A and B are shown apart, each in its own frame.
Chain A
Amino acid sequence: MTVDTESPVRPASTLTEDEPLGATRSERLSALAQQHGALVTLVIAVLAAWLSFDTFMTADNMQNMAVSSAFLAVVALGMTFVIITGGIDLSVGSLFALGGVLAAWGSQYGTAVALLLPLAVCGLIGLVNGLLIARSRLAPFIVTLAALLGARGILLAVTDEGSKTYLVDKDSFFATLGQGKLLGVGAPVWITVGLFVAGAVVLRRSRFGQYVYAVGGNEDAAALMGAPVARTKTAVYTLSGLCAGLAGALNAAWLASGVTILGSGMELEAISAVVIGGTLLSGGFGFLSGSLVGVLLLKVIQNVINQIGSLDSAYQQVVSGGFLAVVVVAQTWLGRRRRVL
């Protein structure tokens, strides 16, 4: 690792750039808003909810929100990787439901089967998605849309056309993964936190993580620089499938049953959370902590809407759709201004 700083010839003039050439103050502000806007909004939303509703800042409510956020967060974890590569995975909602059903069915054979079966099946579907996208170069949205349908079909096939609900034995260790508590905090929350820490380390500190950013940032350049583009893409869709399957399994453990009707629309929630959290939908930029904040923000809004009582939970979709639109417009504007420079 020698760096020849004593090079015989050294340029007399230097190119020093203390100030970013193009970045104006407003542009920096907007970049800042993109990175931390979700967090600020979350803090404001929590404060407002706290002041407005006595029932908001209670231990029970917090616990509920945390656990219900956990499952979406795990799905959003995988989705973050996919979106950073510039792709999209619409199949996660179906995989989430399928994972739950498989886990509940498998739990009769022990915890290992209950966890490994959904991971294997959902991971495999994710792998197929990845191969079709990376090797056959099909459009991600259409491949994963087909997977959404296919996974739903498999789910119906294993549940007797949706009429059968497998139950999880409440005393099993598997059920503890969903319902247990440690230091007063639900097991799924701990698992989610652990996964996010691990995910963040992989994304920020591993070579694979660098490839994920490079593929999303400029695929041709990444290939020229020797990044294994196809393998990276395949890996992120597999990871997304695994995350969705695991989230479904944990959810089944929590509910103690494999509910077949879950997960529809979850892909949209996960994408919204990731994008609200500051990850660029065009790829190349994003961070996991943002996705976590995005999930929490969506769940707080949902909780507030439920607290109001008279409002239907559908408002949440309107709000998150609106959020998504605003964030995407802001991102596009930012991106365009930078391209001009």
Chain B
Amino acid sequence: MLSVTGSAGPPVTGSAVLSVAGLGKSFPGVRALDGVDFTARAGEVHALIGENGAGKSTLIKVLTGVYQPGEGEVTYDGSAVRFATPLAAQHAGISTIYQEVNLVPLMSVARNLFLGREPRGRLGLIDFRRMHREADEALRGLGVRVDVRRPLRELGVGAQQMVALARAVSVDARVVIMDEPTSSLEPREVATLFEVIRMLRGRGIAVIYVSHRLDELYEVCDTVTVLRDGKVVHTGPIAELDRLRLVSLMLGRDIGDVREEGLTKFSGRHDADSQAVLEATELTVRHQLDGVSLTIRAGEVVGLGGLLGSGRSETAKAIAGALPPDAGRVVVAGVPVRTGSTPAAIRAGVSLLPEDRKAEGIVPGLSVRENIALAALPGLSRFGLVDEARIDRVVDTFMKRLRIKASGPHQKVGELSGGNQQKVLLARWLAMNPKVLLLDEPTRGIDVGAKAEVQKLIDELAEDGLGVLLISSDMEELVEGSDRVVVLKDGAVVEELTGDAVTEDRLMRAIAATPAARATTAVPTAPGGDDD
């Protein structure tokens, strides 16, 4: 059945379609959601925002049946529900459009749209003429004109997302959840997407919109819910919330607060050389970075500020050779480095502590010792044979210096706590005697004690003359730990804070600034709701 209007009769705008009350969810060692109340109403575009670890993903997974709620309940269409699987949620009318389009790229647009509910004719065979016609009509209804016989992957990401949307709508979705839908769209595709979102709203569908692009939120959303540390810190009409306030809610810092100094273990300022140890110029990666330039001097901690998705991690990866840039140069201590090659960057003295520690950092099955020695191995070997004694010395030195807590050097790294895993990674790079350390969220997901230790270590390393790039969603950490902060937004540098300007206020203002008037305090733009 392909019915774009939905079969549940005319929707009552404003009535709650999907809601949770008192929702709690815990994972070993983490309280991901705590007493969350959230309501998505028919005909409403509801922004769901929060920094990493705020609990957005967990909330959406509960709503879509990936996780079961720990406490509290989910109410859908007036009655309590429990979705056992994502499929069950989808059958009930809750569709999710993921960042990575969840369709089959090699199949045609029409086949994707109709998989599992193809119109069939005689002998139960698929009636392709009807299928193509109806697919074409459904897409035209969303303002997309493509040849529905073409394989999906030949379409642009925007058009692919439209197909996913069309599929969601045609399965009578009453709630559509979009997870960062615009992260790889061209501007004109974004414009079309927004029109479609408004159209969905017009049809009484509840849209839950997850994004970090403030401009977009103000353009299409009606309501906003801000999560932080697993709790709802704000919910209400987005028009009543100015940008600065929104950013401060997300980051958990109040404007004009008298801040207690010294909550972090950072000492403060360092005496940086005048010598630049790292110069990155005009790094550009399609859809991700737009001409990012930054300089780090020896003995200096440079913070990289910005919201999630602003290009912080991408900048670090591009410098470290893990993300090949389309354009741009990286110079380390005056010597140009070949971009797009991790070994080249490492040889030049650039080391990256990746954000995704578990997937990209540690080698979980190997011991603490092997993990520490991993990158430095060629230097700790003679004729291809590992010099065990030297490794023991290096490992011993760093385990002591970084105070790595493990049952011994032979414990598997996968069994350690997050903080100690992070220290093992730090040790891996320090064993290489790097010139530049790129630290992407070095203290995320580790306990308070370990956090303080890691912060102190970063300080010490800078004092020892390393150039450090610090990425952190923790405003306090970023401001207190950095000598300078480069602020990114949508993949471009918007401001650089130095000296006394390195404050949380200034940082939040830079993040919240509208594209047109970056320097001035932001005024919320008109929310996108004036077309119907």
B202 within 8 A of A: yes
A15 in contact with B159 (CB, 8 Å) = yes
With contacts A5-B141, A207-B120, A221-B102 taken as known, whether A16 is within 8 angstroms of B146 at the C-beta atoms is yes
A11 in contact with B155 (CB, 8 Å) = no
Considering only residues 61-114 of chain B, those with a C-beta below 8 Å from chain A are: 86-87, 90-91, 102-107, 111
B195 in contact with A11 (CB, 8 Å) = yes
Binds A, one of B33-41, B186-194, B445-453, B456-464: B186-194
B515 within 8 A of A: no
A218 within 8 A of B: yes
Contacts of B105 in A (CB 8 A): 217-218, 284
Contacts of A338 in B (CB 8 A): 153
0 or 1 for each of B145-159: is its CB under 8 Å from A? (1 = yes): 110001001111011
A314 within 8 A of B: no
A9 in contact with B202 (CB, 8 Å) = yes
B359 within 8 A of A: no
How extensive is the interface on chain B, given as a class? 35 or more
With contacts A4-B5, A7-B4 taken as known, whether A13 is within 8 angstroms of B120 at the C-beta atoms is no
B119 in contact with A7 (CB, 8 Å) = no
B162 within 8 A of A: yes
Q: What separation, in Å, do the CA atoms of A336 and B2 have in the docked complex?
A: 35
Give how many A residues have a beta carbon under 8 Å from the other chain's beta carbons.
Answer: 43
Contacts of A21 in B (CB 8 A): 154-156
B3 within 8 A of A: yes
Q: Which of A4, A16, A23, A222 contacts B104 (CB 8 A)?
A: A222
B198 within 8 A of A: yes
0 or 1 for each of A57-94: is its CB under 8 Å from B? (1 = yes): 00000000000000000000000000000000000000
Q: A17's closest neighbor in chain B, by CB? A: B146
B107 in contact with A213 (CB, 8 Å) = yes
Contacts of A210 in B (CB 8 A): 107, 111, 115-116, 118, 126
Q: What separation, in Å, do the CA atoms of A5 and B107 have in the docked complex?
A: 25
B138 within 8 A of A: yes
A136 within 8 A of B: no
A206 within 8 A of B: yes
With contacts A13-B192, A218-B104 taken as known, whether A4 is within 8 angstroms of B141 at the C-beta atoms is yes
A14 within 8 A of B: yes
Contacts of B308 in A (CB 8 A): none
B119 in contact with A1 (CB, 8 Å) = yes
Contacts of B146 in A (CB 8 A): 15-17
A223 within 8 A of B: yes
Q: What separation, in Å, do the CA atoms of A218 and B202 have in the docked complex?
A: 32
Contacts of A217 in B (CB 8 A): 104-107
0 or 1 for each of B387-402: is its CB under 8 Å from A? (1 = yes): 0000000000000000
Q: What separation, in Å, do the CA atoms of A227 and B167 have in the docked complex?
A: 14
B358 within 8 A of A: no
Contacts of B159 in A (CB 8 A): 15, 17
B87 in contact with A223 (CB, 8 Å) = yes
Smallest beta-carbon distance B359→chain A, Å: 17
Contacts of B31 in A (CB 8 A): none
Smallest beta-carbon distance A201→chain B, Å: 7
Number of A-B contacts (CB under 8 A): 148
With contacts A3-B3, A8-B202, A11-B196 taken as known, whether A284 is within 8 angstroms of B143 at the C-beta atoms is no
Smallest beta-carbon distance A261→chain B, Å: 39
Smallest beta-carbon distance A19→chain B, Å: 9
Q: Which of B87, B104, B195 contacts A226 (CB 8 A)?
A: B87
Q: What separation, in Å, do the CA atoms of A90 and B137 have in the docked complex?
A: 44
Q: Which of B5, B107, B155 contacts A284 (CB 8 A)?
A: B107
Contacts of B90 in A (CB 8 A): 224, 226
0 or 1 for each of A1-37: is its CB under 8 Å from B? (1 = yes): 1111101111111111100111100000000000000
0 or 1 for each of B500-531: is its CB under 8 Å from A? (1 = yes): 00000000000000000000000000000001
Considering only residues 74-128 of chain A, those with a C-beta below 8 Å from chain B are: none
Q: What separation, in Å, do the CA atoms of A21 and B150 have in the docked complex?
A: 12
A225 within 8 A of B: yes
Smallest beta-carbon distance A306→chain B, Å: 38
B106 in contact with A4 (CB, 8 Å) = no
Smallest beta-carbon distance A102→chain B, Å: 32
Q: B89's closest neighbor in chain A, by CB? A: A224
Contacts of B196 in A (CB 8 A): 11
Contacts of B192 in A (CB 8 A): 11, 13-15
A173 within 8 A of B: no
Contacts of A4 in B (CB 8 A): 3-5, 141
A218 in contact with B102 (CB, 8 Å) = yes
B115 in contact with A225 (CB, 8 Å) = yes
A213 in contact with B137 (CB, 8 Å) = no
With contacts A15-B162, A221-B103 taken as known, whether A5 is within 8 angstroms of B140 at the C-beta atoms is yes
B103 in contact with A207 (CB, 8 Å) = no
Q: A202's closest neighbor in chain B, by CB? A: B125
Smallest beta-carbon distance B69→chain A, Å: 20
0 or 1 for each of B1-45: is its CB under 8 Å from A? (1 = yes): 111110000000000000000000000000000000000000000
Q: List 29 interface pairs A-B (beta carbons < 8 Å), by A numbering.
A: A1-B119, A3-B141, A4-B3, A7-B5, A7-B141, A9-B199, A9-B203, A9-B531, A13-B191, A13-B195, A14-B144, A15-B158, A15-B188, A20-B155, A21-B155, A21-B156, A207-B124, A207-B126, A210-B111, A213-B106, A213-B107, A214-B107, A214-B115, A220-B102, A221-B103, A224-B87, A225-B167, A226-B116, A227-B116
Taking beta carbons and an 8 Å cutoff, which residues of A are in contact with B?
A: 1-5, 7-17, 20-23, 201, 205-207, 210-211, 213-214, 216-218, 220-227, 280, 284-285, 338
Taking beta carbons and an 8 Å cutoff, which residues of B are in contact with A?
A: 1-5, 86-87, 90-91, 102-107, 111, 115-116, 118-120, 124-126, 128, 134, 137-138, 140-146, 150, 153-156, 158-159, 162, 167, 188-189, 191-192, 195-196, 198-199, 202-203, 531-532
| Given A3-B3, A205-B128, A214-B104, 7 extra CB contacts under 8 A | A3-B2, A14-B145, A15-B192, A207-B124, A210-B115, A213-B111, A225-B116
